[in-house]
Chains A and B, each alone.
Chain A
């Protein structure tokens, strides 16, 4: 079964109602207009009706087809607005999951600090309102779940500005597509992940298990946990595959050619180099790659942990 668009959230009712209302009005207008055109073209063809009338207008008719559309569109507006207001008013008891987006990854942060990346997707309990503040680290993305009829742009904001948000309440168990709907460069079409809707008990079990693993990993290998949660794996692999950026495997200690300020130079990868690569990605560009890596906010400790892990991957 295709689960991409089947109604699956509390918004479907109002959105789909508006949709069908407009659809019915449209079909009515279109059939009327087209029908009348075809009828006239046949009935009043040059052959069938060689002498045209000199009809210039009809005030009554003009009024009718000004007033009726006005009334119809006001209905359309009203129902559209009702549905919209519902989407903008988050229920008090909603559970918060923070959404971060960047080129070209998603990250979902749960209230207990658990983080999920693009490959893992967003897991939520059914029949629970979920409130999602939306952050972007670089350009505008758009958080879109067709089956839930929700969409909101993920806009990078100045310090202190209001963040965008959206919310939904899934009403069906299953996995649904989550797209990025605002053009954000090269891999815009790959910025896709899934929303997994679980029953409440299943969700609780999932959460406990994940959190345990997460906490364990964080304690044992903070670097790997960070690389996973910050979304580095969207562009870097740990098994030698070349993605958007170079693989982390065997990186440490390697000699390679980088372009700095337009000049090529050869370097050996060490702690200091890794540090600048991560803090100021646009300074040294590895030859053969595009300057696409975004600067990510990391504390010095976090960077050290990441570097430790990259070193481990090369041992």
Chain B
């Protein structure tokens, strides 16, 4: 049983859902803009990250979990980041 205080009213999930749909439509519309390759990539990935954060934090109830859950997320996130950055230390300087 969850010992944490939890509001079980559907208000929060529905609001989060609204935000997710809004961001989805926004990113589709923004993709029409001509901001260059990097620009488009940055916009698309930022929006996706916000959406993912919303899902993780509210839908997956990370907001109600103790600190240790967030630390674990941090470990996973930074490892992922390291893999990408270090791999591109090779590919940024080489034509394949």
Taking Cβ atoms with an 8 Å cutoff, the residues of A that contact B are: 157-158, 160-162
Contacts and interface: CB of A to CB of B under 8 A. Distances in A.
Contacts, number: 8
Contacts of A157: 96
B15 interface: no
A161 B96 CA distance: 4
Judged by DSSP, the binding face of A is loop
A162 B96 CA distance: 6
A2 B16 CA distance: 75
Contacts of A160: 95
B11 interface: no
B4 interface: no
- The 6 A-B pairs with the shortest beta carbon distances in the complex, nearest first, are A162-B95, A161-B96, A161-B95, A162-B94, A158-B96, A160-B95
Chain B interface residue number, banded: under 10
A157 B94 CA distance: 12
Nearest to A163: B95
5 contacts: A157-B96, A161-B95, A161-B96, A162-B95, A162-B96
Nearest to A160: B95
A162 B94 CA distance: 7
Interface string B61-96: 000000000000000000000000000000000111
A164 to B, nearest CB: 10
B81 to A, nearest CB: 24
A56 B95 CA distance: 55
A158 B95 CA distance: 10
Contacts of A162: 94-96
Nearest to A161: B96
Interface in B33-81: none
A100 B94 CA distance: 21
A161 B91 CA distance: 12
A212 to B, nearest CB: 39
A157 B96 CA distance: 8
A122 to B, nearest CB: 26
Contacts of B94: 162
A160 B95 CA distance: 8
B94 to A, nearest CB: 6
B21 to A, nearest CB: 41
Contacts of B95: 160-162
Given A157-B96, A161-B96, A162-B95, 5 more contacts: A158-B96, A160-B95, A161-B95, A162-B94, A162-B96
Contacts of B96: 157-158, 161-162
B88 to A, nearest CB: 16
A138 to B, nearest CB: 18
A252 B94 CA distance: 47
A59 to B, nearest CB: 28
B4 to A, nearest CB: 40
A144 B42 CA distance: 43
Nearest to B95: A162
Nearest to B96: A161
B3 to A, nearest CB: 39
Nearest to A158: B96
Contacts of A158: 96
A158 B96 CA distance: 7
A157 B95 CA distance: 10
